[in-house]
Amino acid sequence: MSLKDTSKFLSLLLRHKPQLVGLELDEHGWADVNELIRRVSRRRPLDRTTLEQIVATDDKQRYSFSADGKLIRANQGHSIPVDVELSELEPPPILYHGTGERFAASIKIHGLLKKSRLYVHLSSDVDTATKVGRRHGTPKIFRVNSGKMFADGFKFFRSVNGVWLTEHVPVKYLEEF
* Closer CB to ligand HQG, 111 or 147, in the complex: 111
**Rounded to the nearest whole angstrom, what is the least distance from the CB of residue 97 to ligand HQG in the complex?**
6
Residue nearer to ligand HQG on the CB measure, 48 or 135: 135
Using CA atoms, how far apart are residues 168 and 175, in angstroms rounded to an integer? 15
Query: Is the Cβ–Cβ distance between 79 and 112 less than 8 Å?
Result: no
Smallest gap from residue 39 Cβ to ligand HQG (A): 21
| Contact in structure between 142 and 177 (CB atoms under 8 Å) | yes
List contacts with ligand HQG (CB under 6 A): 11, 60, 62, 77, 99-100, 103, 106-107, 110, 112-113, 115-117, 121, 132, 135-136, 163
Q: How far is the CB of 176 from ligand HQG (least distance, A)?
A: 13
Cβ closer to ligand HQG: 33 or 123?
Answer: 123
147-150's contacts with Cβ under 8 Å and 24+ in sequence apart are 147/91, 147/92, 147/93, 147/94, 148/173, 149/91, 149/173, 150/90, 150/91
Residue 112 · residue 167 · CB < 8 Å: no
Least distance to ligand HQG from the beta carbon of 113, Å? 4
